[in-house]
Amino acid sequence: MKKSLFTLFLFLLLAVNATGQTKHTFAITDGNFVLDGKPVQIHSGEMHYARIPKPYWRHRLKMMKAMGLNAVATYVFWNYHETAPGVWDFKTGNRDIAEYIKTAQEEGLYVILRPGPYVCAEWEFGGYPWFLQKVPGMVIRGNNPQYLAATKSYFTALYGQVKKLLVTNGGPIIMVQGENEFGSYVAQRKDIPLAEHKKYSAAVFQQLKDVGFNVPFFTSDGSWLFEGGALPGALPTANGEDDVAKLKEVVNKYNGGKGPYMVAEFYPGWLDHWVEEFPKVATENVVKQTQKYLDAGVSFNYYMVHGGTNFGFTSGANYDGNHDIQPDLTTYDYDAPISEAGWGTEKYNALRNILKSPKTPAVPAKIPVITIPNIQLTKAVSLEYLKSKVKAVTADSPLTFEDLNQGHGYVWYSKKFKQPISGKLELKGLRDYAIVYVNGVKVAELNRYYKKYDCMIDVPFNATLDIIVENMGRINYGADIINSTKGIISPVIINGQTITGDWNMYSLPMDVVPNLTDAKNMVKVGSPTVYQGTFNLSTTGDTFLDMRDWGKGIIFINGINIGRYWSVGPQQTLYVPGCWLKEGANEIVIFEQKNDKIQTSVGTVETPILESLQPEKGEEK
């Protein structure tokens, strides 16, 4: 009997030690956030698992805890997990969201989960899987059965990953957001009746409950947008609201005359686009506003406390009256308190000074930074080599990426002309960036940012027209999100004539690192080229590739797509996490689209260059 009791005691002890946590309770009652029966103020920071290499998650969470925060908020990116229709990935790369949440708990942080299904976040398509656009009858973010069936499937898959991590089951997830900034969408889509919008948001909210989420819910919108975004049964929070009196007034109006009061997105920095100035927010302004919230008992979530990086093809895009697309940078540094590479900034130190308590841990050591001697590029292979490995799809007119069942990367459109034609080439349906060639000679760059959709062209007898098109990221915010197909989405016109018949399309998704094993060096100026090199390291550490002498393209390090570079800036370096490097041999592969000069090497620097704007490098001279 004693032996059995001892075994049971040992089992229970091990079970407690395995989680290292005591079970807590969390509720919204009597106008307060209540943790373990006591009112609590939430001091949170937004930080996205998908934008940080998994080996660095703990370091970044420790940085948050050392800043004096008690919670971390994260979006969940639907398209990061449903990689193909019905195919789910919650394990590879940075996708193990359950592990991220467990690590936060181990570091003493509560978790605020923001599952969308729409998230915005300067993320490709606002988090939606690109292939939703191929579902007949589906209208995203709308009250239709095809869309709601897809969201239900997503919520069900997500719940299966995080169920045990809800505070009600002993985990750290204390709140879940219903939809995201839906009031903004209601204001943008006045063509849809408010009652219809409300049916949709209520249906999504109900799905979250039906699949099993049973912690307090909240919504987040600008304070003037609550009418469209607020949901019965969810706490309304006001994004970007610095006026405490206004915050309390609007929350009271939609929450039964009481709080708690929270700013779910408090911006210590701001988002960044290619070809535009890198915005900065002054430290003193962020400190002053934080102190105002502290004094008023207002809870808050810094968006972002640490931005990280839009690795691969994950960056989204915006638009405005002057630009049909504003693609987001690869860096998501955001001028946040914790920099892209995880460094504590002046802003971090200033905020830590007012947020820390006697129990706040010390700031963790900075991850080592290295520079790598110039990396020699020993292979230079024309993109034609990769095209030759792809079977063409032939159609009467150009097909979109979606028609070709391709989400990201590039499509090479090609047409042979038996008769000469010259005049204005019009690509009004370009999405988003194209280089045009006649018989292999570059004749123009077309670009949706600059609204440059046409050029003069001369196609001689028996010549080939090639148009290599890049998807620069789907719209992540605004009414135009519903129009997010990519490639060439309308007829090609030359000299007023629609060009039809025998268009060949070659898919180049670049979803894996190009294989150049059997390729021979073949490069010429102006022709898109894939470069390859190897470099040896005796010590690993973070570094930054210096791309100031390059044009436009993407880079793979040891098979991982670390993102897009573009000479226009303001970003001129790409962050290379040391955890993706290794002692001994490493490989770099660079796809350079413009190739205005033949490259032989690439260098690194110790600090990022994020504020060097060169807009003229995006326009043809």
Q: In angstroms, rounded to a whole number, what is the distance separating the alpha carbons of residues 438 and 585?
A: 40
Residues 6+ apart with CB under 8 A from 577: 53, 55, 56, 542
Q: In angstroms, rounded to a whole number, what is the distance separating the alpha carbons of residues 574 and 358?
A: 38
Query: Please, are residues 513 and 589 in contact by the beta-carbon 8 Å criterion?
Result: yes
Does the active-site annotation cover 265? yes
* Alpha carbon separation from 197 to 119, 145, 148, 200 (Å, rounded): 17, 14, 13, 5
Which among 123, 117, 151, 152 has a CA at the least distance from the CA of 49? Answer: 123
* Alpha carbon separation from 255 to 229, 250, 485 (Å, rounded): 13, 8, 39
- Output the DSSP codes for 191-237: TS-HHHHHHHHHHHHHHHHHHT--S-EEEEE-GGGHHHH--TTSEEE
107, 181, 340, 426: which is the annotated catalytic residue?
A: 181
Sign of CA dihedral 158, 159, 162, 168: positive
Q: What is the dihedral of CA 360, 364, 366, 367, to 10 degrees?
A: -140
248 phi, psi to nearest 5 deg? -65, -40
* Alpha carbon separation from 12 to 6, 7, 17, 171, 364 (Å, rounded): 10, 9, 9, 17, 32
On the 0-12 / 13-18 / 19+ scale of CB atoms within 10 A, 485 is: middle
Number of other CB atoms surrounding residue 426 within 10 Å: 21
Query: Please, are residues 349 and 288 in contact by the beta-carbon 8 Å criterion?
Result: no
Q: In angstroms, rounded to a whole number, what is the distance separating the alpha carbons of residues 313 and 37?
A: 45
* Alpha carbon separation from 481 to 124, 141, 449 (Å, rounded): 10, 10, 16
124, 179, 265, 340: which is the annotated catalytic residue?
A: 265
- The DSSP symbol for 596 reads S
Number of other CB atoms surrounding residue 90 within 10 Å: 16
Q: In angstroms, rounded to a whole number, what is the distance separating the alpha carbons of residues 249 and 258?
A: 9
Which among 95, 543, 572, 176 has a CA at the least distance from the CA of 341? Answer: 543
Q: In angstroms, rounded to a whole number, what is the distance separating the alpha carbons of residues 493 and 431?
A: 16
Q: In angstroms, rounded to a whole number, what is the distance separating the alpha carbons of residues 488 and 448?
A: 12
Which among 332, 313, 319, 270 has a CA at the least distance from the CA of 475? Answer: 319
Sign of CA dihedral 338, 343, 344, 347: negative
Reported residue count of the chain is 621
Does the active-site annotation cover 181? yes
At 441 the three-state DSSP class reads: strand
Q: What angle do CA 417, 422, 423 make, to 5 degrees?
A: 135
On the 0-12 / 13-18 / 19+ scale of CB atoms within 10 A, 44 is: buried
Q: In angstroms, rounded to a whole number, what is the distance separating the alpha carbons of residues 416 and 459?
A: 10
Active site residues: 181, 265
